[in-house]
C-alpha cells in the first residue's frame, strides 16, 4: 500500500484528507504525478512551498502490527518537489548555528507510526519507517519539545499489545502556519528569512466498540523554548492587544512551557484553515485543557518506546 488510505478504518469510515483550499496557491506540486499529494509508505504529505514545511502529514497506523526495530534512515530532499520548496540539511545546520543542537528535524509522521507490516515482515516495516526521512515530512522543532512531551504524545498512538484497541488509527499532523509566526534569527542557506512555526497539532481518528467514529485534537507550543534560547525575532508580537484578529500565537502566549493540550478539533480548524472530516469529539464544547499527567498516565516523560512500554495510553487521551 502506497500513501494514505482513506478507507483504512473500514469501508464505512471513509476519512478523506482535510480540505485545504486556503492553501491552493501554496501547495508544492508533485512533479511526477501532477497532484498535490506526496505519497510515501502508509502516509502522504501536502507541502507548503512558501514555508517549506508540510501543511499536514496524514498516516495510517496499524497499532498491533507494529514491529520493533533499530532506527534507520537519514533525512533527504524529495526530488518530486523543487529544492526551494523544502528545507535542506544546510538549513537545519543554520538553525543550530545560534545554539548547537537546539532545533531538531521533527518528524510529522513519526518513524514508528508506519513501522508495521500486515504480514509481520520486519524488513518491509523497516523500509516503511525509512520512508519517513524526507524533508517534506519534517518541520523545525525545539529539541526539548521534540524529545519530550511531543514524543510522548506520538508514542501514545503506537503502543503495541498492552492497549490493543483501537487496533487502527488514522492521524493528521502538522504545524500551524501563521502569517505572524516569528522570524528565526538565522536565515536559510539561500539567504531567505524563515518564519518558524510556534504551534504543532495532531488529530487522531479512531473507532470504538459502539461502531462510531471519534476524533481527538492536540496542540503544543514551543514559543517559550525559542524565547529562552534567544532564537527568534519577535516583531510579530508587537501589535498584540491592538489588533483583534485570529492568530495562532495570541491565545497561547500564556500557556505554560512545553505543555500538551487537548483541544476541540474545531479550534485546530480555525487556526490552520483546514477542514477535517466530522466525527464525535468529546472536547468539542470544552475550552483548551491541560492534559494532567495523572489523567493520561504519563509516569516518565523520558521513557522511549524502544526498550520501554509507554505509559501514555491512547485510551486515556480520547475520553
Tell me the per-residue pLDDT of 205-258, one tens digit each, with 9 for 90 and over: 999 889 999 998 888 888 889 999 999 997 545 444 444 455 665 555 444 443
Q: pTM for the full model? A: 0.86
Judged by average pLDDT, the poorest of 15-24, 48-57, 91-100, 303-312 is 303-312
- The pLDDT of residue 218 is 87
Residue 301 has pLDDT above 80, yes or no: no
Residues in the chain: 319
Per-residue pLDDT reduced to its tens digit, 178-197: 998 999 999 999 999 999 99
- The pLDDT of residue 246 is 56
Per-residue pLDDT reduced to its tens digit, 105-125: 999 999 989 998 988 889 999
- The pLDDT of residue 140 is 98
Rounded to whole angstroms, the Cα distance separating 295 from 282 reads 15
- Report residue 241 as a C-alpha cell: 492587544
Q: Which domains does the chain have, with CATH numbers?
A: 21-318 (3.40.570.10)
Rounded to whole angstroms, the Cα distance separating 188 from 69 reads 34
Share of the chain above pLDDT 70, in %: 79
- The pLDDT of residue 159 is 64
Rounded to whole angstroms, the Cα distance separating 236 from 142 reads 19
Residue 135 has pLDDT above 70, yes or no: yes
Burial class (CB in 10 A: 0-12, 13-18, 19+), 225: buried
- The pLDDT of residue 239 is 47
Amino acid at each position: 500500500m502506497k500513501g494514505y488510505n482513506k478507507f483504512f478504518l473500514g469501508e464505512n469510515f471513509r476519512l478523506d484528507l482535510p480540505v485545504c483550499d486556503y492553501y491552493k496557491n501554496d501547495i508544492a506540486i508533485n512533479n511526477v504525478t501532477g497532484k498535490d499529494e506526496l505519497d510515501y509508505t502508509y502516509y502522504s504529505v501536502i507541502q507548503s512551498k512558501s514555508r517549506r514545511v508540510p501543511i499536514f502529514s496524514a498516516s495510517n497506523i496499524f497499532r498491533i502490527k507494529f514491529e520493533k526495530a533499530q532506527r534507520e534512515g537519514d533525512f533527504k530532499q524529495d526530488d518530486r518537489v523543487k529544492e526551494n520548496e523544502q528545507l535542506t540539511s544546510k538549513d537545519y545546520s543554520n538553525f543550530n548555528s545560534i545554539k548547537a543542537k537546539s532545533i531538531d528535524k521533527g518528524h510529522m509522521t513519526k518513524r514508528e507510526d508506519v513501522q508495521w507490516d500486515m504480514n509481520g515482515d520486519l524488513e518491509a516495516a523497516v523500509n516503511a519507517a525509512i520512508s519517513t526521512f524526507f524533508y517534506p515530512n519534517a518541520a523545525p522543532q525545539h529539541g526539548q519539545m521534540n524529545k519530550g512531551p511531543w514524543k510522548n504524545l506520538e508514542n501514545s498512538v503506537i503502543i503495541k499489545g498492552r492497549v490493543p484497541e483501537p487496533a487502527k488509527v488514522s492521524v493528521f499532523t502538522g504545524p500551524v502556519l501563521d502569517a505572524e509566526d516569528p522570524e528565526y534569527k538565522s536565515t536559510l542557506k539561500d539567504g531567505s528569512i524563515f518564519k518558524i512555526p510556534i504551534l504543532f497539532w495532531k488529530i487522531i481518528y479512531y473507532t470504538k466498540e459502539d461502531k462510531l467514529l471519534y476524533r481527538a485534537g492536540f496542540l503544543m507550543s514551543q514559543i517559550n523554548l525559542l524565547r529562552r534560547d534567544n532564537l527568534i525575532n519577535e516583531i510579530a508580537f508587537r501589535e498584540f492587544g491592538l489588533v483583534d484578529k485570529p492568530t495562532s500565537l495570541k491565545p497561547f502566549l500564556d500557556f505554560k512551557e512545553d505543555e500538551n493540550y487537548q483541544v476541540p478539533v474545531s479550534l485546530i480548524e480555525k487556526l490552520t484553515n483546514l477542514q477535517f472530516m466530522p466525527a464525535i469529539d468529546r472536547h468539542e464544547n470544552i475550552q483548551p485543557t491541560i492534559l494532567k499527567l495523572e489523567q493520561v498516565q504519563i509516569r516518565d516523560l523520558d521513557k522511549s518506546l524502544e526498550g520501554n512500554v509507554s505509559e501514555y495510553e491512547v485510551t486515556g487521551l480520547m475520553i
